[in-house]
Chains A and B, each alone.
Chain A
C-alpha cells in the first residue's frame, strides 16, 4: 500500500500569511494526487486534483505543486474561512490512501 505522510500535523498562522503543507508518498505516484479541505462538521471538499489543477470554484489563493513523491499545497494569503483540516490523497493505485491531515488554525 502507498503511505501518504503529511506535515505539519497542525499550523497556526495569521490572516494574510502564506501557509504551506507538504505531502510525501512512500513511492512515486506521478501526478495522481488530490487535496481536500474539511471544515468543522462538514464533508470534505475537493480543492486540487491531478497534483496541480484547481477545482472549479476554489479561490485562486489555493495552489499546489509537485509530482512523483513530493507535493505541496499553498494558501497564499490565509483567510478566516480557511480554518479547516487539509488532506492529501493518492489516486495512483488501490487501496486509495489519505494523508493524516493538517489542521490549519487562525492566530
Chain B
C-alpha cells in the first residue's frame, strides 16, 4: 500500500482563530490530493481537489476564502481553516492519488484530523 500522514490528528481551537492541517504522502509522489470532511454518521464530503503547482478546485458550497488549500510540493498539501467557528468542527480527511498502471489510480487516505472549535 501507500502511506499518507496528517498532522495534527486532533486540534482544539478558539473561535476566530485559524488552523492549518498538513497532509503528506510519505512514500510516493502525488500530483493530486483531495480534502474531505466527514460529519458524524455521514459519508465523506469532498471539499476540494488540490493539484500541485496550481489553484485548488473547490466543490460547490465550499468557501474557498475560508478553506485555503496549498499544494506546494508533490508530497505536501495543506488545508487552512481561517477564522474557524464552531460549525467548522468536524473530521477532516485528506487523500493522495497514487498513479497506477492502465488507468487504475488509487486514492490513499490520511488518518484524519479532528477539529473542535470552541
Binding partners A and B: no
